[in-house]
Every structure is written in structure tokens, then in C-alpha cells.
Amino acid sequence: MPELLNKKYRDQLVTWIGKACHFRLLYKISRDGCSPTSFHQQCDGKGATVTVLYNKHNTIFGGYLSQSWKSDGGYIEDSDAFLFRLQYNKSPDPLKFPVTEKSKAGYGNSGCGPTFGDGYDINTFTETITRSGNEFHLNGYVSYIGNSYNLNGQTVDTITNSSLKVTDLEVYRIVEGEEEERPWREHPAWTTETMQELKDTLQVYEPRMETNVTAANILLIGQIGAGKSSFFNSVDSIFRGRVMNKACSGNSERSITTMYRRYELKDSSTKKFLNFRLCDTCGFQEGFAFDAQEFSFIVCGNLPDCYRFNPLVPFESDSAGYIKKPELKDKIHCVAFVIDSSTVDVMPDKIGLPHVVLLTKIDKLSPEVDDDVTNTYTHTTVCEAVNKAAKIMGLPSAHIFPIKNYVSEPNLTTALDILIMKALKRCLEFADDFMDEQLLRKAAEEKMNCTEVENDQNHIEKKIENMIN
């Protein structure tokens, strides 16, 4: 799930805290559930924290404690504590409200969510709260705000809108020191030289000659709206030299793609088609339901290009266009699962083909990545999403590629090109591995058949010899 606290507001909080520090998300009610038990399991004993509430009025407020949360039913003494408002009715308007009664800066009770002050200034919730639409109607209160904190002339309404109907609540651990820029995955430099090197590699790619395959087939499958068609458009844009929208894409609840397509890609600089194709098919409906038989036909190379899906009349082995004896060139050589990174908890079952996961929409995971995608390999939220996808899919994390498609960008950018082409290069490596395996299997089968023929021949010769004798 994406972090909501953007860099501007983090920098403001760091200024108020008064020392170099950075933030690690501990608890988020939309991800971890809204209950006192869940809150204390995630946050007790973790040191300094910032609690941030986002209410339905687009107001952002909360509190800071330099001491750990606890569950013993006692107050938390903290002379450095403060409440704050970062945004009011969608407009940035940061204000800090210092503690006046330091012996009762916070309250740690196993039956309460984050609670500040005596009486209490902010009492978030005292029982399990379920989501109602897009909101959590917290059962706490803010009516006594100002009991233990100096509001500097502000009121409960100008700080909180007198509302605990929130879209989310987050608790961040405060980690001392500047955040290290150590990448969680090694990556090439974000330069035009890197971009051009990747592009050159893809331009000259050819399947190995002994496969008799002229173009590798990469199948894109995934959720509706995850970005399958947008990935094709993004790759097409890179080699056309401008942002393209050849394949229909969108955010509809129903699949925009209604036809199986094997898209060829043309390089504008050479005027030649590239030696790989991106194959697009319908997005998975709710729960990743799909026709297993049709999917098998796609993977095995039986389904013709431009076949239009009809849920009332599924494709069968006697349907028009059915390819009865597909060759290796007709088959899918790599399956790429396209997954919306903000919904990584929902994954399809594994398939017996080499495959990668394209983790799209990484800009929605964090404001820092949204501002600059070169933060992809240093941001912990992206790393967590990659590891979670790898665990659920049963794949090494090196097979999970975070990307951002061209959607609203008017022009190509070096960083997006690098992310997209790096993932595509890995898909082609998987395709080569699959084709090699198919050749080895074919050779083994031919050898076995030759052995059987030789044994039969020896048997016949022996029978003839016995008849003569």
C-alpha cells in the first residue's frame, strides 16, 4: 500500500523534530486493519513516532512522541511531544502545537489506538473499525484538544474539522540520521548512455538461429487496469521516438482488450521491425478468473492473431483459425504478469513457463517515487512491494521488475525508458532460456526414438538370424 506522507510534509516534520531523521512506515489502518491490537503489535516499543490522520475534508493532522508507545494503561511522559496540522481543507498550512503537560503527552492503553494528552486531546479509536466506503469512521474524539497542548489560538475545528472520519491513519517510526541512499537492488546509472545501451541491445536482439524462430513472443497477462496495454504502448513509444497509444488502454472495470493480438514493434531509426512481439489478451476479471482452456491455447500457439474473445462462445479445437500443429515460433516464449503495485496482495496462480512480474504504477507507492522515478531502487516501499510479490508468486525477487508506464507524460524521459527496457531485456532472456529448453527436450525425444528404432531393428535382425539357423 502506498505511503501518503509526501516529502514536503516530511521535511516540515523533521524541522519541528529538530534533528536529522527519516521515516519508516510502521502501521497503516487501510493495510493492517484498524484496531487497538493491530496498532500496538506494530508500534509498541519502537521509539519515536509520528501519527498522521487524513480526514475526509483533506485535512492532515496528528502528533509526535519521542518516546515509545506502550500498552500498560499509563501516561507517557515526553517534553518533546507536539501535535500538528500539515494541511487544512486541501491547502498546505503547517502549524505546530507544543506540549504543555509533558507528564501526560501520550496515553498507552491496550484498548486504545494512538492517544495524546490528558482527557484526551486526540483519542483515535477504542475498538475495531471497519471501512465504510472509502472512509473509516473512528469512534474516538478530538473535542478536548488543547488540554495538554498549546493550540496558539487555533480550535478543534481549524485543526481537525471536528472530524474523525478519515481516509487513512499512518504511524511512522522516526529513525535518526539522514536516510542512506543505498540501493536495495544494483542498477545502471540513470543516464542517456545507459538508456541508449539498452535500446541498442534490444534493437539487435535475435532468437538463436537453431530455434528457427524469427521473433520471440512475450505474453502480457494480468489484472484489468494493471497496465498490460500501456506497457506495450510504452515500449512502442520508446522505439517510435514519441509517446504512442496504439493499443487501447484505460482504467475501466471491464477489460479494454477484447482481442488477442501479437503486436509487432517497429524501430523508427532503422525502419525495421524488431525481433520480438508483445502479445496482449483480456485482463483478468474479479478474482483473476479466466478461461483456462483459452489460456492454454494461447501459450501453446493454437490461438490465431486477432482472435476476438466471446465469453458466450469459447475458443475450441474445432473453431475457425485453430492452429492444429503449432511450431516453436507460434508458441509463447515468456509470460509476463503485469501487476498493479498498489494491489500486490492479489496475485494469480503460478504457470509452468518462465516468467517475470512487471510491477506497474510504482509512482502510487510513494510521493518520492512519484516526484522522481530514479528513487525506485532506493525507496523501501518499492522494495517491500517487490519482495511481497516475489513471496506470493514463489519467484526470486530478481524476477520482479518495478516499472512506470507512459500514461499522462507528453514526452519520453530517460528514467522511464531505462526501467521499461531493463524489464523487457529480462523478458527476452527468459524467452531464450525457454526456447533452449524446448530444443534440448526435442533432441532428447529424437534420441529416445532413435534408440527405440535401433532396438527394434536389432530385434528383427535377431529373429531373422534365428529363422536361418
Q: What is the mean pLDDT of residues 229-241?
A: 93
CA dihedral 109, 113, 114, 120 (to 10 degrees): -70
Mean pLDDT of the chain: 87
Residue 244: pLDDT band (50, 70, 90) is confident
Angstrom distance (rounded) from CA 33 to CA 29: 5
Angle at 29 between CA 24 and CA 33, to 5 degrees: 120
pLDDT digits (tens, 9 = 90+) for 306-362: 888 776 777 888 888 888 999 999 999 999 988 888 776 544 444 445 488 999 999
Percent of the chain with pLDDT over 90: 59
Predicted local confidence at residue 253, as pLDDT: 47
Q: What are the sequence ranges of the domains in the chain?
A: 7-176, 192-446
Predicted local confidence at residue 287, as pLDDT: 44
- Choice among 53-62, 148-157, 248-257, 336-345 with the minimum mean pLDDT: 248-257
Predicted local confidence at residue 350, as pLDDT: 46
Predicted local confidence at residue 305, as pLDDT: 85
pLDDT digits (tens, 9 = 90+) for 121-179: 999 999 999 999 999 999 999 999 999 999 999 999 999 999 999 999 999 999 988 76
More confident residue, 33 or 256: 33
Q: Is the pLDDT of residue 389 over 70?
A: yes
Residue 365: pLDDT band (50, 70, 90) is confident
Q: Is the whole model's pTM more than 0.95, yes or no?
A: no
Q: Is the pLDDT of residue 255 over 50?
A: no
Kind and range of the H or E element at 232?
helix 228-240
Residue 105: pLDDT band (50, 70, 90) is very high
Residue 384: pLDDT band (50, 70, 90) is confident
**What DSSP state is assigned to residue 196?**
H
More confident residue, 451 or 440: 440
Predicted local confidence at residue 56, as pLDDT: 94
CATH code of the domain occupying 192-446: 3.40.50.300
Residue 1: pLDDT band (50, 70, 90) is low
Report residue 399 as a C-alpha cell.
524476477
Percent of the chain with pLDDT over 70: 87
Predicted local confidence at residue 228, as pLDDT: 87
What's the distance, Cα to Cα, between the start and end of the chain in Å? Answer: 83
Q: What is the mean pLDDT of residues 108-120?
A: 96
Q: Is the pLDDT of residue 216 over 90?
A: yes
